[in-house]
């Protein structure tokens, strides 16, 4: 499936999603992070778009996050379903949702990432964007909950091995004598996982 439902009113995906399929889900509001798209050109949806480049500066990223977050918040407060997309729904659009969840719903970056990853396992937010989001979290909450390398390894392990986060973390810590790559390789063999 090219899109995922993150919450009752928030959907996340890529540009390739079919217009009619989105409409059939009752979605009437679109937020595009890859400029104008078939969704924003359609007169079927209320839409807003930003051209968020994969390699952007903090000065470009934060204003787009703020505008997008307000737009998502307005849709939610009006009880409208919203589809947030970039090209593939893997990095840029999830990063916007991470910002939204931190600033509007007061979730930590770790909680927000886990929520989105649980519902759309193929997200892979660019480490640079995660760094910018960590700064936002530090400014918002006074601490950082998400240590990118550590948490990404454990979250990835928990989904690939179909085990809960705490079990994956315990196994990770117990076997930390090996490098994280060697441990992940060991777990893949144990659970017969390809890729």
CATH (domain of 116): 3.90.190.10
Query: Distance between CA atoms of 193 and 162, rounded to whole angstroms?
Result: 11
Would you say residue 134 lies in a domain? yes
- Report yes or no: 75 and 28 within 8 Å, Cβ to Cβ: no
Q: What's residue 131's pLDDT?
A: 86
User: How much is the pLDDT for 5?
Assistant: 98
Based on the fold, state whether residues 101 and 163 are members of the same structural domain: no
Residues 110 and 181 in one domain: no
Same domain for 105 and 12? yes
Least confident segment among 25-39, 56-70, 162-176, 178-192:
178-192
Instruction: Return the pLDDT at 179.
Output: 47
Given 125, 145, 165, the domain boundary residue is 145
Q: Find the domain containing 107 and state its range.
A: 3-145
What does the pLDDT look like over 33-86, one tens digit per residue?
998 877 667 777 888 999 998 778 889 999 999 999 999 999 999 999 999 999
Residues 79 and 159 in one domain: no
This prediction has a pTM of 0.78
For residues 169-175, average pLDDT? 64
Sequence-ordered list of residues with C-beta below 8 angstroms from that of 7, at least 6 positions apart, any chain: 115
Residue 125 sits in the same domain as residue 50: yes
In a domain, 50, yes or no: yes
Q: How many domains does the chain have?
A: 2
| Helices 109-119/148-160 angle, 10° precision | 30
Query: Could you tell me if residue 195 is inside a domain?
Result: no
Residue 161, domain member (yes or no): yes
CA–CA–CA angle 107, 80, 8 (5° rounding): 50
Cα torsion 109, 115, 117, 120 to 10°: value is -140
Average pLDDT, the chain: 84
pLDDT value at residue 42: 75
């Amino acid at each position: 499936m090219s899109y995922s439902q993150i919450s009752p009113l928030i959907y996340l995906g890529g540009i390739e999603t079919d217009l009619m399929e989105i409409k059939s889900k009752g979605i009437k509001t679109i937020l595009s992070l890859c400029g104008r798209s078939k969704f924003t050109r359609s007169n079927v949806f209320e839409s807003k778009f930003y051209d968020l480049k994969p390699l952007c500066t903090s000065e470009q990223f934060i204003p787009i996050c703020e505008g997008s977050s307000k737009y998502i918040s307005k849709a939610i407060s009006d009880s409208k379903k919203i589809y947030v997309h970039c090209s593939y729904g893997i990095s840029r659009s999830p990063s916007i949702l991470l910002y939204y969840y931190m600033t509007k719903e007061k979730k930590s970056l770790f909680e927000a990432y886990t929520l989105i990853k649980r519902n759309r396992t193929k997200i892979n937010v660019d480490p640079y964007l995660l760094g910018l989001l960590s700064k936002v979290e530090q400014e918002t909450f006074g601490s950082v909950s998400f240590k990118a390398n550590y948490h990404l390894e454990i979250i990835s392990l928990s989904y690939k091995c179909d085990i809960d986060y705490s079990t994956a973390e315990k196994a990770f810590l117990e076997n930390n004598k090996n490098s994280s790559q060697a441990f992940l390789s060991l777990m893949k063999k144990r659970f017969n996982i390809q890729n």
